[in-house]
Structure 1
Amino acid sequence: MAYLKELVNKPISGEWGSDGEGIKVLRTTNFTNKGVLNFDNVVTRDISAKIIEQKKLQKGDLIIEKSGGSPTQPVGRVVYFDEEGDFVCNNFTSILRPKREKVFPKYLLHMLFANHKFGITKMFQNKTTGIINLQLTRYLEKSNIPLPSLETQKKIAQLLDEATSLRNKTQEILKEYETLAQSIFLDMFSDPVTNKFKFQKGTIRDLINEAKYGTSEKASDEGKYPYLRMNNLTYEGYMDYSNIKYVNIPDKDLHKYLVKKGDLLFNRTNSKELVGKTAIFDSADPMVIAGYLIRVRFNEKANPFFVRAYLNSKYGKLVLRNMCKSIVGMANINAQELQNILILHPPIELQNKFAEKITLIEQQKELVKQELKESENLLNCLLQKAFRGELV
């Protein structure tokens, strides 16, 4: 074991400079939660040549987040720098330059990534004026890192790189299936703005039998019925049955709040970015919905797969974001407003064909999700063993 401060040179603080087209500056917005950088939105700033020379990133450097974070994402994320060209990092971050005679950079990356993932970094954060900061000096002084030989470190890093790559590739396959589903929607129905197939237009109200709110009963850890809340709908338009609460409902009222397979659920209250999350309930188990959700049942003119895809399209998201109103910091779209949304009315036969294709894609996605779960478990197991010094 060795303290982190023994394995890195003195941290190099970041710089922000002034507006300009000088040097590329990496920010925490360029961090991912996978230990790598995202270069899609790199800013440029004017910084003096002297400071650039002192603080320029080198291949193999680690960049650690000093300020930021959230209640669900502790500050202290770390990423690996391995790019050509001149870059510095901003003042919310610091460069940790490994002492290569003691530690292999990629090995140290995985150890610090494990620190963050397993909650060690969280012990070194504090909150001032709404910003979460990392106590970097204390973190360096108190963090213990398992330190096998350099040769063993390289082998461990390679093994963890391979496990991470497997996990990432599986995630990419899921994204490709999602892109395929969006492409099929556009091929069959076109962009709703251009409506090149000249489908009739109307409102969602024309397509449904009912739109009902859920119950306001308080959720608990025990109860007769699983209780679906807004966090059980994903932004991408799918159900997430993790973190389920429970509720008791009198039998006489149950029909008002019970959902059945094929019902469309609409999240009517959330932040402006998340209001309008739309998913199809796909479980055979009886469940009850909370008051922040709307249960929609369709008539013979609509297939819920089509309406879900419509509302989850880029066009649909934009419509929902523009129409929602804020109530005490939360955005809201009520049942009447939902029913008044304009929507294409393609033939039901075409909607059904779309649903068949999407069902096949989702079946394949379920298989990939299982593979992703297994690759996540493998990576976590290897990280834990390496973190405990057992992966030798």
Structure 2
Amino acid sequence: MEYKKLDNIFLEIRNGANIKQSSNKTGKPITRIETIVHNKIDLTRVGYADIFSDKYEDFYLKNGDILMSHINSVTHLGKVAVVENIDTDIIHGMNLLVLKSDKSKVFPKYSYYYFLTNKFRKQLIPITKKSVNQASFNISDLKEIQIPLPSYENQLRIVKLLEKIEATISERKNGIDLLDELVKATFYQMFGDPVRNEKGWRKDEVGKYADSMVPGRDKPKSFTGDIPWVTTDKLTNLGHLDKNRISLFLSLDEIQQAKSKIIPSGSILMTCVGDLGIVSVTDFPSVANQQLHSYQCKTELNNVFTMYCLSLSKSHMYRMASTTTVPYMNKTVCNTIPIILPPIALQNQFADIAQKIETIKSEQEAHLKGFEELYNSVSQKVFEGDIDLSKVPFDDSLLPNPIEVPTNKEPIDKFDVFEKKEVSKKGVEKVRSKNNIKGLEFGFEALRHLESWEQYSFKEIADSIIKYFSRHYFNSEMILNFLDKELDIQVNYYSSAEQKKNPQYENADDFYRFISTALTRENYFLQLEQVFYNAETENIPDISFTEKDLESLSKKDKKERSGIYFHVKDETTTP
């Protein structure tokens, strides 16, 4: 693969305008070091200087520009963001470089993805100059760095491939966030707001119904045992402590020397210094540092229920905390946090639901980790030329000299095109059929090869789901069965391991994207709401299923029937 210096593929690499900014000013936004957040441009982190004219028009950011941090801490040096879809004037300010691509040689987002790699970060090390509080590199040294430059077609393919995996990662994260919101929604449905206590539950101080243990004052001097040492950064907020995230372990002698205590399994750990009210339940004995307070629930309290109650009482915590340099709650404040006391049976019911959702969440987090590993693997291999990109589609209109498509004098038969693309005969017959009795005019297999028809296909699928399930509840398995049995659509899944062997664009999990966007209101054709149905307690009395789904569910026990279900949002009642 050919390598080129940045100076040869960027028309301009420069610093921004030196403009004094103030918190009480308005006008056109001006970029700052902190404007780049998670490799995106965050317009809530910009400055202002009462600039309303086009005085700094030469410094306006344009689509395709790349911002790069060249003065920062060593960890954040080289952070980048690409300018996309801007609809306002943004002034490029000092302490961020802008790199303007020569678009005849390099596609802007290709270079952006390369700048995210560890390989590029390593290339910055020799040119980095360190001072007491920050590090930097100069433009002339940056221009000398060489990056791999494949053909323009392959640059576009690489971008398409990485964008697809990146989008899947983002949707997985959104799905996990939705599960968190589902647990909170279930809590509010069952108990109401524990602070306002509109349901009138008995209320008292948590310390009367839970014991507590205060960590030792001394930090252990060594870690040679097998009992986990828990610090605030190891907590999983509103979840169970993950032992795999803990790296330090104590022996009994080391615990005794530090005058610490072993916190029993089933305890609640809560931050009491700095960021207050981060809570986890621990399923194993552990030792906590000074910034954590622990509770051991008595018979009147369930630990998972109590964890959520405490988390929703943060306003009280900050009101009562001592404030010197950071907020701090002592043992008395921690034990006098007010808590509602609904019947323990109801608490246990909530804990059971939360645990089942957390199990699903753990599975989703494992899938997310797989996709993140896939991204890292693919992003490394594509820039080394180790992946066959020939089957990855790209938009040829983005080429510097778009490919001219020859016109044929005689019209091409649509079905001949399908057959040349090795579409199944079954798919071709569906396309030929104008009277598809199962609800789809076009075959899914054929649509996979016609990207311009993709949205239309999604609309047909969405309409069919709405019509079939109507006001019934359903889960992912039921949708898959419907697509398979009623519409003859085969939904293929690919494990991250399979994708690492053959990470092509079309291997993306489109079904997951279709459902997840329906839950986040990003799906134009379908909007769903998710609920947790507990068949043992019948927490949704009016729940209904299609006859086929009901027949399938009747063969399962109550525990197997419990889980996350969807229903189509009613447009007349849902905002």
Q: Residues 296-353 of structure 1, C-alpha deviation per residue, up to 9 Å, x if partnerless?
A: 111111111122112223xx233333333356x4543222221011222222222222
Larger Rg over CA atoms: 2
Corresponding residue to 1:263 among 237, 243, 267: 267
Corresponding residue to 1:143 among 142, 145, 155: 145
Aligned to 1:299: 298
Q: Distance in 1 between matches of 2:238 and 2:15?
A: 38
1:117 to 1:147, Cα distance in 2 relative to 1, 3 A: closer
Give 1:366 shift. Answer: 0.3
Aligned to 2:279: 278
Q: Secondary structure at the match of 2:29?
A: strand
Q: Where in structure 2 are the equivalents of 1:147-296 lying within 5 Å?
A: 147-213=149-215, 216=218, 218=220, 220=222, 222-235=224-237, 238-241=240-243, 242-250=245-253, 257-269=261-273, 272=274, 274-283=275-284, 286-296=285-295
1:80 to 1:309, Cα distance in 2 relative to 1, 3 A: same
Are the counterparts in 2 of residues 4 and 143 from structure 1 also a CA contact under 8 Å?
A: yes
- For residue 209 of structure 2, what is the amino acid of its counterpart? L
Q: Distance in 1 between matches of 2:124 and 2:57?
A: 30
Structure 2 stretches of 5 or more lacking a match?
A: 389-575
Give TM-score, length-normalised by structure 2: 0.60
Moved more, 157-166 or 253-262: 253-262
Q: Distance in 2 between matches of 1:123 and 1:335?
A: 50
Corresponding residue to 2:28 among 23, 31, 38: 23
Q: Secondary structure at the match of 2:76?
A: coil
Aligned to 1:356: 352
Give 1:150 shift. Answer: 1.1
1:147 to 1:185, Cα distance in 2 relative to 1, 3 A: same
Give 1:12 shift. Answer: 3.9
1:321 to 1:125, Cα distance in 2 relative to 1, 3 A: farther
Q: How many pairs does the alignment contain?
A: 380
Moved more, 39-48 or 196-205: 39-48
1:349 to 1:376, Cα distance in 2 relative to 1, 3 A: same
Structure 1 stretches of 5 or more lacking a match?
A: none
Corresponding residue to 1:60 among 58, 64, 87: 64
Q: Considering only aligned residues, what root-mean-square deviation do their CA atoms show, in Å?
A: 3.0
Q: Distance in 2 between matches of 1:165 and 1:13?
A: 31
- For residue 288 of structure 1, what is the amino acid of its counterpart? V
Are the counterparts in 2 of residues 280 and 304 from structure 1 also a CA contact under 8 Å?
A: yes
Q: Distance in 2 between matches of 1:116 and 1:36?
A: 20
1:205 to 1:243, Cα distance in 2 relative to 1, 3 A: closer
Give 1:146 shift. Answer: 1.0
1:354 to 1:68, Cα distance in 2 relative to 1, 3 A: farther
Are the counterparts in 1 of residues 228 and 246 from structure 2 also a CA contact under 8 Å?
A: no
Identity of aligned residues (%): 23
1:263 to 1:123, Cα distance in 2 relative to 1, 3 A: farther
Aligned to 2:15: 13
1:342 is aligned to 2:338:
yes
Give 1:177 shift. Answer: 1.1
Q: Secondary structure at the match of 2:190?
A: helix
Give 1:384 shift. Answer: 1.6
Q: Distance in 1 between matches of 2:31 and 2:372?
A: 28
1:29 to 1:293, Cα distance in 2 relative to 1, 3 A: same
1:323 is aligned to 2:327:
no
Give TM-score, length-normalised by structure 1: 0.85
Q: Distance in 1 between matches of 2:127 and 2:238?
A: 34
Q: Distance in 2 between matches of 1:91 and 1:334?
A: 44
Moved more, 293-302 or 362-371: 293-302
Q: Distance in 2 between matches of 1:29 and 1:346?
A: 45
Q: Secondary structure at the match of 1:309?
A: helix
Give 1:199 shift. Answer: 1.7
Q: Distance in 2 between matches of 1:303 and 1:102?
A: 63
1:32 is aligned to 2:37:
yes
Q: Distance in 1 between matches of 2:292 and 2:379?
A: 39
Q: Residues 45-93 of structure 1, C-alpha deviation per residue, up to 9 Å, x if partnerless?
A: 4337454320111111111123444x7x423211111122322233232
Q: Residues 341-384 of structure 1, C-alpha deviation per residue, up to 9 Å, x if partnerless?
A: 12222222222222112111101100001001100100011122
Are the counterparts in 2 of residues 201 and 342 from structure 1 also a CA contact under 8 Å?
A: yes
Q: Distance in 2 between matches of 1:305 and 1:138?
A: 57
- For residue 354 of structure 1, what is the amino acid of its counterpart? F
Are the counterparts in 2 of residues 215 and 257 from structure 1 also a CA contact under 8 Å?
A: no
Q: Residues 133-178 of structure 1, C-alpha deviation per residue, up to 9 Å, x if partnerless?
A: 4314155234321111111111111111111111111111111111
Greater relative contact order structure (CA < 8 Å, 6+ sep): 1
- For residue 58 of structure 2, what is the amino acid of its counterpart? Q
1:339 to 1:121, Cα distance in 2 relative to 1, 3 A: farther
Are the counterparts in 2 of residues 64 and 78 from structure 1 also a CA contact under 8 Å?
A: yes
Say which structure is richer in strand.
1
